[in-house]
Structure 1
């Protein structure tokens, strides 16, 4: 009999020899001498779940992260017992489990090692709180790289870093500061051009070490709960990210206006100030779809109230803003003011919905209203009640979106900045302390908000934004990266964070453009706008302490640059909407770091600045003052400079000129980029013409444009339009083929084709195999033409 003393190493305990094994459909159980059980579940041929119990008993199996609609089912599962190990085979993987110590190695079917346990699973008694500190260590191979983990403000490649997940209100955080607002315990490993992923579904405080403590070891551990992780096999980074996103879920389509430009400040009040801002946008012709109201719209910061001195008739104001094209988004925080005359407080108290300390009293903490109690959003009845509170805001007053802030949860005037750890939570019928519920508190608040806004916005789609999140929150909400600073370093951080969030399943993310704290220069604001319009969520937000941060606050030059790029955003709305459609259907991130785009090229593994926007647009922000351009890496292939139509070959660094009014921007050869006319807000104009920018390529390329009613749910009943374009370029001809599906009829009848890089002069045009006279397609000297939207094949022939 092996004693615990013999198993200990630096206080850790380890599994001993496997005694027995059993199989139950898709679950395999391995039992050891010292009562450790490994439950291996084959979810799909390339997706595995590893779950460990240390005293022969598993905890109840429950997760907030997993999507109900996640794909399950495999093609093959076979288990073989050898002398020294068990060999498990799926349709894609071979898993070898050592009998001696339960350590796991994962191979592909060609016998190539993908990932292996180093010490593997081990644990340590948590004498302070009870239960275990659970740990896993993995061997790392030479040149292995790591990506993911949500909003970390550090280099995109995490090799050499140690990071932590514990949602924290980090006002004016800095580069490499950790932890931040979100907890996304998922990472991608890439070695020898093979990618895999690990999702550690544990909501306690979690820790990740990517070769910082030990050079060839990656480890992750949690301060409580189970060792419960999912393993995803690529071999591409794209397949790993898609598998993880499928497991944790995808959002529904947002209303198209949510992808427009939003303006926010702490705070716009009274009503006359809101009207002044909205009027200025329309006067200066800067497109904008949403105005945000921060905490000062409330009566004494009490949620679900209005300050009648500032906003005497909110319903009328919201209606008038709507008539001018502005949707109103309001902030709602979790802290409910302790005030017996405040109806929300009294309701929650009467229903016993507030979080309690271990010994029974309600947990109290100071936030904006002063002394507050906090709803337990991990209780389904509390979520249902909270959802119902939105009836007046959304259903009666007509607010279009809700912004959840301070939901880490943040508490002022205490060193920990959050709830005491002994606070109790229902956790959907699995009662626990705040140690376990902390990282999901903000997600469950956003979930309750989503359910309420969706109910009362119906038949329109909801729009929610959150600061704090856990894996799977993307099912309910968009997000932003928190209280950043108006510095060039933070412009760099914003670029990294949004790329990382997109790789971590949460694409609908952006930063506070211009910086929340402090005041940007006009140059910094211009450069940040140039980046922000290429982020899925596009909002200017500032604390207002240091001055104004509207597009016109920095003089005419910056105003003109800002207008130019926001107009570009509105032109690209069909392209962005199509990106979102790919995200919700296939789990493809809206923004792709270069390593995602081309992992075969080792040069991409440490690139941080450049990214692919959607499928076809390469973006690289200017991150330094006084710059007239920059060196950037252009990935393999051939790309058109957006501003000059010059073609450059990738796979190397290039100097790219970009004065203050430009950002380095390239279009993939063969791309077809859909554009709408410039609008001051979504729905201002009926779309009479879709423009397609066609970038000639010798060879083949496919592009698509997805459209629907832009709001509402008819798209789920087939009322959408998906146009797939296949481009074929030859020496003296260009062929465009269109395939259409869906029952939605677009408002436009014509398509304007703008041809870029055509290497020949057009001599003949055939439309569905019939020659067309030039005057019928209005062929212009700039190589543009107008054609019927329902063409099947367009044949452009050169001299």
Structure 2
């Protein structure tokens, strides 16, 4: 009897503990189509507070209202063992995207991940440069968990015993349909904290959910015009005269160049850093910077944040650093104003104030063997884990603040970011160098609120070099990172002309790129994004299926697979990169007519095409009615008051409309209303003649347009 009583008591305690651990989620509407759920006692330090993200309320309001996209009853939360267990429902046919900057996969359903800031190690396991805890569903909603902790994600990979849609157990011995991964109807997230806040974003389309997420973070970055030009990073130990010679070579050969990146040798000591100019290589930093600016070339400086014992700021910053080092350098606690004042005060005094235009912040991501361990103590009291998850955000935020205070935009590089960092003016890069995976990362960046560059460094063949440069031109930052190789655009003579043509094309397309980044800022639309976010790509697939034999419908078969090698670039362009050794490739064209970017010729409508573009070009297609504003082939981005001619290219026959953005290109005056969107419309009359219009410039608003001409690309 005693055994029975004890057993019953244990069962009762278990049931009570389970009941007590289940928590009621507190819901709050924070903007149209955006809801915050709170459970337990969320930590005061999270991704959004670390970066100080402020919602772009006007953009969120313009995105429109929408109904809550899930069943609130099926979103559950439990607290146990000092941890929070979250569960979100999944339909059987929905796909998931996101969970950070992945390099090899776009589809994330069925994955098990630990979201952990780290250098990318070759596997999509959650350890990456931007492990953003945000996912998007093909059903048209998104979820963001606002925690600065390592999160364990089970993205439809685990089956509850008493779940709503438990699949039938099958006999592997006799049933060929048995699967080692049975259907799961939930996304489960383990947060190592006694509470958390999370956000749910409505659609109705997946792109709408992504937009709302970006706008919650303040909207996407709006780079200066020069940031969208061409950049070359020079070898580590270059001198001032070497850099001037590099710029002269670009000018002599007619290659565009807007900014040059100086690598560790500009500092007197690096790894760890002094943040002071090396007087042997740069005896007159102020004069050197001024000379380069007079040539139209800005300078970007490499650094990591670890302070050398030989640095002039070491003794003053030491009390505000961690108890562990990185390469024997002190690690500033960037959550403390004292540490920030000392570090960024040094950067401001010796670099920004003399005209340095931006930074490349290295090694704020990983590896574990050199970054601070999780046993590290920071003087602010924030844990080493929280600092690991947010250090990239902090270095971006406070360096960007230096420029904002000067009313001067910047654009740079960083190795780590996270949720909340969408508005920060940095592009992620790394030491990995797989061309195909670089394109997959560019696709996934659009789900993660970050930017990624598929940079070029060096190549085994001229063909590979050209293919990499072609990808670079259609990306957020057109960069050669030659810190080790010393490679130049013309280093492969066999393809020098083609590379130059692509670099010039980048400059001609600046009005398009700049307008698309403006839409990222004001509307939250990622300038580079997956095909899965494009209308007509999958929306009509179910209606198209007329047979269970997919071989009879190549389009349906293609879009049902993971597409990792083509993407949307802005409103109208579909880019399908070529890789070395490949003469042909397939391209999936969404529903609606598409036209060749270079010739205007019809390419297809809702079908899979096979193309052989030759070496000179990569396949790029424009939607029917597409309008691409093209500028002159300048060697540098236009100056703030410089007026430029515009050629408006129009594709297809459908009436087209485009919102062309304009401001001074360099300051934050747009935040005070000093900007304009001018409406371009093009259509064809019954005789095929173009009817065109550009809305008038608003009085008192920036106007950098000179002559405007129109060109019908499709005859």
CA distance 1:211–1:387, shift in 2 (3 Å):
same
State yes or no: 1:461 paired with 2:406: no
With over 3 angstroms needed to count, the CA separation of the structure-2 counterparts of 1:514 and 1:8, relative to structure 1, is farther
Q: Which residue of 2 aligns with 1:683?
A: 638
Q: Structure 2 vs 1, CA of residues 727 and 639 (structure 1 numbering), >3 Å: closer, same or farther?
A: same
Q: Match of 1:483?
A: 431
Per-residue Cα deviation, 1:453-488 (whole angstroms, up to 9, x for no partner): 333xx2432334321112122323312231122xxx
The answer to whether the 8 Å contact 2:321/2:332 transfers is yes
Q: Distance in 1 between matches of 2:348 and 2:710?
A: 46
- The answer to whether the Cα contact below 8 Å between 2:220 and 2:526 also exists between their aligned partners in 1 is no
Which residue does 2:173 correspond to in 1? Answer: none
- Tell which has more relative contact order, 1 or 2 (C-alpha 8 A, sep 6+): 2
Q: What's the counterpart of residue 462 of structure 2?
A: 522
Equivalent in the alignment of 1:746: 703
TM-score by length of 2: 0.85
Partners of 1:293 and 1:331 within 8 A in 2: yes
The 8 Å contact of residues 701 and 728 in structure 1, kept in 2 or not, is answered as: yes
Contact 2:222 2:425 survives alignment (8 Å) = no
The corresponding residue for 1:472 is 420
1:530 & 1:568 partners in 2: Cα distance? 10
1:108 alignment counterpart = none
Offset at residue 260 of structure 1 (A): 0.7
Give SS of 1:307's match. Answer: coil
Are 1:705 and 2:643 counterparts?
no
Shift in Å, 1:253: 2.6
Q: Is the 8 A contact 1:526 1:561 kept in 2?
A: yes
> What are the equivalent positions in structure 2 for 1:513-552 lying under 5 Å apart?
513-514=456-457, 519-544=459-484, 547-552=485-490
Residues of 1 paired with 2:619 and 2:631: CA distance?
22
Q: Please, which runs of 5 or more residues in structure 2 have no aligned partner?
A: 1-7, 160-182, 542-555
- 2:653 equivalent to 1:653: no
What is the match of residue 71 of structure 1?
57
Instruction: Measure, in 1, the Cα distance between the counterparts of 2:447 and 2:427.
Output: 14
Deviation string, structure 1 residues 91-141 (Cα, Å, up to 9, x no partner): 623876xxxxxxx43xxxxxxxxxx34xx323542xxxxx32x22233432
The 8 Å contact of residues 153 and 178 in structure 1, kept in 2 or not, is answered as no
The alpha carbon displacement at 1:616 in A equals: 0.9
Superposition deviation, residue 222 in structure 1: 2.6
**Change in 2 beyond 3 A, CA 1:393/1:476:** farther
* Residue 144 to residue 459, structure 1, CA distance change in 2 (3 Å): closer
Match of 2:86 among 115, 136, 140: 136
Task: Report the equivalent of 1:592.
Answer: 529
Match of 1:424 in 2: 377
Q: CA deviation at 1:286?
A: 1.0
Report the RMSD for the aligned CA atoms in angstroms. 2.9
Distance (Å, rounded) in 1 between the aligned partners of 2:649 and 2:59: 42
Deviations 1:29-69 (A, max 9, x none): xxxx558453222223532222222xxx5554863366323
What does residue range 223-372 of structure 1 map to in structure 2 within 5 Å?
Answer: 223-224=192-193, 226-251=195-220, 253-267=222-236, 269-301=238-270, 302-339=273-310, 342-349=311-318, 352-355=319-322, 362-366=323-327, 371-372=328-329
On the 8 A contact 1:639/1:648 being kept in 2, the answer is yes
Q: How far is 1:304 from its partner? A: 1.8
| 2:376–2:384 contact (8 Å) kept in structure 1 | yes
Task: Give yes or no for contact 2:589–2:606 (8 Å, CA) kept in 1.
Answer: yes
1:573 and 2:510 correspond: yes
More helix by percentage: 2
How far apart are the structure 1 equivalents of 2:52 and 2:568?
Answer: 28
* Contact 2:566–2:575 (Cα < 8 Å) also in 1: yes
Q: Tell me what 2:101 maps to.
A: 151
Alpha-carbon separation, structure 1, partners of 2:496 and 2:577: 19
Which of 150, 166, 171 aligns to 1:205? It is 150
The answer as to 2:449 corresponding to 1:505 is yes
**What is the alpha-carbon distance in structure 1 between the residues aligned to residue 57 and residue 326 of structure 2?**
42
- Match of 1:188, SS? strand
CA contact (8 A) 2:225 2:638 kept: no
Whole-Å separation in 1 of the counterparts to 2:359 and 2:97: 31
CA distance in 1, matches of 2:10, 2:30: 34
Partner of 1:725: 680
Which residue is equivalent to 1:25?
A: none
* Cα distance between partner residues in 2 of 1:4 and 1:380: 51
| Shift in Å, 1:441 | 1.4
Cα displacement (A) at 1:620: 0.4
SS at match of 2:320: coil
SS of alignment partner, residue 117 of structure 2: coil
Q: Contact 1:722–1:740 at 8 Å: present in 2 too?
A: no
Report whether the alignment pairs 1:495 with 2:446. no
CA deviations 1:210-240 (Å, max 9, x no partner) are: 2345531322223335243211121201110
Q: For residue 767 of structure 1, what is the aligned residue in structure 2? A: none
Gaps of 5+ in 1: 17-32, 76-89, 97-103, 106-115, 126-130, 356-361, 759-799
d(CA) in 2 for partners of 1:723, 1:72: 19
Deviation at 1:6, TM superposition (A): 5.7
